[in-house]
Amino acid sequence: MIDRVLPGGTIGVLGSGQLGRMFALAARRMGYRVHTYSPDTNSPTGQVADVEVTGSYDDLAAIRRFASAVDVVTMEFENVSAEAAAAAAEVAVVRPSGAALHTTQQRAREKAFLQAQGFPVAPCVRVTSADELRAALSVVGVPAIVKTAAFGYDGKGQQRVHDERDVAAVWARLGGGEAIVEQVIDFACEVSVVAARSADGRMADYGAVENVHRHHILHLTMAPARVSVTVAAEASALARRVMNALDYVGVLCVEFFVTRDGRLLVNEIAPRPHNSGHYTIEACATSQFEQQVRAVCGLPLGSTTQHRPAAMINLLGDVWAGGDPQWAAALAVPGVALHLYGKAEPRTGRKMGHLTVVADTLDEAVARVTQAYDALQMR
């Protein structure tokens, strides 16, 4: 029997950032109560949750107390330890499972999983020393990207190696430990697929979207992706294979490189709703956040039908660099939707919000969201 939590129940969220905030808004609209747990107070999630609990992710007794007060526990970011997930699972249903989290929260384990399951990935080698890094370059070639195995996102913990002379300095900057050395791929574009899987194995996905990054941080998402029908279908199929292989319950995102000859390479798995899926709030019958509620609560998955093309741009703290953004000018652009995350301090590279536009054509959506983004910074 599938554990089901009906509206009126309580969902616990480990983590308290913007993903938890948008999840909590969707859950509360559906009649759920939401408790959030993190080391922070007045957090983006805590501002809209019913209860905000402050504590360390290493405090397993506190995690158990938190989980005992809710009906189901989920995560809004992947750096919650598997031990914390296991502690929560002692007293509540946890979705996704600690095992899935353990695999996807650390790059070396994730790459080993993908390779073992036969998924297409860029040539890569796990290393634990400068000497191993030097040897790995003979396998993957140069230039190469060196990524820390743990706690890396939005380009954090990544260094480029151009030749063997860079090895000592790169390894020192990474601070040692465990890393993945990956071949630099000359890709045509980057795409991602946000997908969901329920406890009974049913799946749904939102199709491939195209992502443009600036300084390793997502800047623009275009939905649908400007790729062939064949490539889009393969991306969706691979995302579903990933979920089945992980026995995953919840929403996840699989990011891909599309090579210049049309092949897909899995880059990363994010075991949670994803930045590139924010457009679904305005553009789809069921947002990725409502879908996460449905999946973790054991309800039927919602329709992923996209009504019209959409484009989304991230608002980083950089937008505030010259003073307060020109909100009125941006909101004067027809069809623009503004989302701000309740973060008090704008910092360079910090995700503060996003803009979305839904339009009759993808070109029109991109043009309008870009116009609104530019208007924010006209001072």
**Is the domain covering 123-183 a CATH 3.30.1490.20 domain?**
yes
Question: Cα separation of 271 and 298, whole Å?
Answer: 17
Q: Hey, where are the domains in the chain?
A: 10-94, 123-183, 187-376
The confidence score (pLDDT) of residue 149 equals 83
Split at pLDDT 50, 70, 90, the class of 2 is low
Residue with tokens 């107390």: 65
Quick check: 164 pLDDT over 90?
A: no
**In CATH, what number does 10-94 get?**
3.40.50.20
User: What burial class does residue 47 get, using C-beta atoms within 10 Å of its C-beta: 0-12 exposed, 13-18 middle, 19+ buried?
Assistant: middle
* Cβ neighbours of residue 157 closer than 8 Å, sequence gap 6 or more: 147, 148, 151, 174
Enter the pTM of the model. 0.95
Q: In the predicted model, what is the mean pLDDT of residues 94-120?
A: 94
Question: Cα separation of 45 and 76, whole Å?
Answer: 10
52 pairs with which residues across the strands? Answer: 36
CB atoms closer than 10 angstroms to residue 67: 25
Cis peptide before 123 (omega within 30 of 0): no
What percent of the chain has pLDDT above 90?
85
Q: In the predicted model, what is the mean pLDDT of residues 34-61?
A: 97
The confidence score (pLDDT) of residue 74 equals 97
Residue with tokens 């809004």: 76
Which residue in 92, 6, 26 sits closest to 277, CA to CA? 26
Split at pLDDT 50, 70, 90, the class of 150 is confident
The confidence score (pLDDT) of residue 156 equals 62
The confidence score (pLDDT) of residue 322 equals 84
Distance in Å from the first CA to the final CA of the chain: 59
Mean pLDDT across the chain: 94
**In CATH, what number does 187-376 get?**
3.30.470.20
Q: In the predicted model, what is the mean pLDDT of residues 206-227?
A: 97
The contacts found for 341-348 with CB under 8 angstroms, 24 or more apart, are: 341/17, 341/18, 341/21, 341/44, 342/21, 342/43, 342/44, 342/47, 342/48, 343/18, 343/44, 344/42, 345/317, 346/317, 346/319, 346/320, 347/317, 348/316, 348/317, 348/318, 348/321
* Cβ neighbours of residue 249 closer than 8 Å, sequence gap 6 or more: 95, 96, 97, 100, 197, 198, 199, 295, 296
User: What burial class does residue 173 get, using C-beta atoms within 10 Å of its C-beta: 0-12 exposed, 13-18 middle, 19+ buried?
Assistant: exposed
Return the SS3 of 193.
strand
The confidence score (pLDDT) of residue 1 equals 43
Q: In the predicted model, what is the mean pLDDT of residues 133-137?
A: 92
Quick check: 163 pLDDT over 90?
A: no
